[in-house]
Structure 1
């Protein structure tokens, strides 16, 4: 369970989030709605420790967010950003395998055959096996979202945070992403 209690986040002297409280159970889907600039992405960034929390408490499976480093946090939460466009044009399979960051012992991580096979199986489950050897930056926005979902599934975490997962996608891919999200809650 994720518990957020009286969360306050500032940008400089401007209070962006004030006294935010909620809980999220494993397998539950919640949607944060609001106008542009209301703080939706700020909330996600705070929960991912990408920006500092001024006050409040966040517990993730009874672990205090304040004491979790990024590697430990990545064992609890998978994050799918609104836009992901890496500097290098990796193959899709490599982008998925990068999801195993939390399994690294040192700076480098050697991909195992089991990781590779699991990634291929996830691609198949999502119906995007044809993308495996394509260059990630050359595929459509909807396909990139599906690849990032595949990467999150490889991580096999209890929580997946998505920042506007269907933004700028055509209707068909919007439906597909929402159907996948709905089926994920049963698997997590």
Structure 2
């Protein structure tokens, strides 16, 4: 199977460089999704569509259902009701290898790879493209793995055991493994978690420049506003907004969802959305 043509390492793309092809069949479509876990309703009446090539951010406070939604999209969690389509197909009906060739998930699971080197872990992303679980590496595997290591600035760490890495370095390894899978859809669970500022920006530039569909859960609202085409804002397992960042991330919605005071304006230099958050009650004026 031909691999998706990712841009060359180091290249980036602006929002205008990557037009969302809204006329195409959605890469992801969700209707009436519900999910109950342990007798508790985690997701309720979730519906949205992700056009091919879009970058969708999923935002919301802890416990709002972001990761559960991502797991449902990846076929790891069976919904209680509703419908999910990945490129028109139910992920629950696809063979694991077929789903893995379409979709890759970067999860918070670096501990599961202990005992392997960085290169070994990244190479695990190639398993979906082998004829069987017992087949050896293919001719394309080595350059694809090395490319993923280069993109995530991991080449110098390639032979180091993953347990010897920092949290941020492990995070980049998990993203590199997902890239080595060469999917058409990339699901990212808090991809900027543990990363320093340089690598936060570099990772978001990288995944945006791939030219594929990206869905990422994010805690950093300002990063989502700058990099995402569209955001889902969630609270208590329900959608509060599904729109472009400027439409979804209003001060009123941010206050209601996060219980903080929010100021939204535009950066004077590049015109991008800028969001400033502060406690609803600022006690500094009470100090003597």
TM-score by length of 2: 0.60
**Equivalent runs, 1:122-137 vs 2, <5 Å:** 122-137=148-163
Cα distance between partner residues in 2 of 1:172 and 1:105: 38
Map of 2:90 onto structure 1: 64
C-alpha separation in 2, matches of 1:97 and 1:105: 15
2: CA distance, partners of 1:65 / 1:114: 26
Matched with 2:227 is none
Aligned partner of 2:120 in structure 1 is 94
The structure with more helix, counted as a fraction of residues: 1
- 2:31 is the alignment partner of 1:5: yes
1:47 aligns with 2:73: yes
Deviation (angstroms), 1:187: 5.6
What is the CA–CA distance in structure 1 between the aligned matches of 2:154 and 2:92, rounded to whole Å?
38
- In 1, the alpha carbon distance for the partners of 2:174 and 2:81 equals 31
In structure 2, the partner of 1:116 is 142
The answer to whether 1:75 aligns with 2:93 is: no
2:84·2:91 contact (CA, 8 Å) conserved in 1?
yes
The answer to whether residue 168 in structure 2 is matched with residue 146 in structure 1 is no
1:85 aligned to which of 65, 86, 111? 111
Does structure 1 conserve the Cα–Cα contact (< 8 Å) formed by 2:185 and 2:212?
A: no
After the TM superposition, which of the residue ranges 124-133 and 151-160 deviates more from structure 2?
Answer: 124-133
2:220 matches 1:163: no
Residues 16-65 of structure 1, C-alpha deviations (whole Å, 9 max, x = no match): 11111111122211111111110001101112222221111111111122
The Cα shift of 1:76 comes to 1.3
State the shift of 1:152 in Å.
1.7
Question: What RMSD in Å do the two structures reach over aligned CA positions?
Answer: 1.9
Partner SS, residue 177 of structure 1: helix
Instruction: Indicate yes or no: 2:37 matched with 1:37.
Output: no
Runs of 5+ consecutive residues of structure 1 not aligned to the other structure: none
Which has the larger displacement, 100-109 or 157-166?
Answer: 100-109
Alpha-carbon offset, residue 83 of structure 1? 4.0
Instruction: Tell me what 2:47 maps to.
Output: 21
Q: Distance in 1 between matches of 2:137 and 2:164?
A: 24
Tell me how far 1:108 sits from its aligned partner: 2.1
Q: In terms of Rg, which structure is larger?
A: 2
Structure-2 separation of matches of 1:187 and 1:160: 7
Q: 1:87 to 1:144 in 2, by over 3 A?
A: closer
